[in-house]
Homo-oligomer: A and B are copies of this chain.
Amino acid sequence: MPTDHPPSRTPARIKDRPTWLISRTFARSSGLLAAGFESYGRGLRSYHYRLLAALDEWGPASQADLGRGTGIDRSDVTAVLSELESLRLVERSVDPDHRRRNIVTITPAGVEQLLELDNVIDGIQEQVLKPLTNAQRRQFIALMMKLLAAEDESSKG
């Protein structure tokens, strides 16, 4: 559990810089997220959630496709899928048309787990944004989307 120990003073040349604010914001967000995952037990972390979500949404897929789709490295996909498999949340089978490839499928238990995680994570969005009014939340989200739009474009190519 990242306990998120913020600095007590923070040098002036640092404290107002966007990169610093972004980093603190992320620390707060990921701390809350980690606490959420942990309170949930099972040893699931964000990678697990991302993979379950991808499988639920895109249907059965190869590990390589999962990696590309979620931005998780192949090797990490392998490791996390093994954990998910041992929890019976996904299943791996060899693609008959391409025996080097695995077809990964989410199980009913996996879907159920995913839905529960959805709830936990939704609650955390609320916590993260709590200091902002609704209008400010919308603004904040819109600004981040704009900030990331270029990146999204370039990776779609």
- Which chain A residues have a beta carbon within 8 Å of chain B's beta carbons? 4-14, 16-19, 21-26, 28-30, 32-33, 49-50, 53-54, 56-58, 68-73, 118, 121, 124-125, 128-129, 131-132, 136-137, 139-141, 143-152, 155-156
Query: Residue A7 contacts which of B19, B29, B70, B150 (CB distance < 8 angstroms)?
Result: B70
Using known A-B contacts A69-B9, A70-B7, A71-B6, determine if residue A147 contacts B25 with beta carbons closer than 8 Å: yes
Considering the chains assembled together, what is the distance between the CA atoms of A129 and B28 in angstroms? 21
Chain B residues with CB below 8 A from A50, complex form = 11, 14
A6–chain B nearest beta-carbon distance, Å: 5
Using known A-B contacts A22-B25, A121-B19, determine if residue A132 contacts B128 with beta carbons closer than 8 Å: no
Query: Residue A151 contacts which of B23, B28, B57, B124 (CB distance < 8 angstroms)?
Result: B28
Considering the chains assembled together, what is the distance between the CA atoms of A155 and B140 in angstroms? 24
A63–chain B nearest beta-carbon distance, Å: 15
Using known A-B contacts A16-B141, A18-B129, A33-B19, determine if residue A151 contacts B6 with beta carbons closer than 8 Å: yes
Tell me if A21 and B71 are in contact (CB < 8 A). Answer: no
Sampled A-B contacts (27; CB under 8 Å):
A4-B151, A5-B155, A6-B152, A6-B155, A7-B72, A9-B54, A10-B69, A11-B57, A11-B70, A13-B53, A16-B141, A18-B140, A18-B141, A19-B29, A19-B121, A19-B124, A21-B141, A21-B145, A22-B22, A23-B30, A24-B144, A25-B25, A129-B147, A139-B143, A140-B143, A140-B144, A143-B143
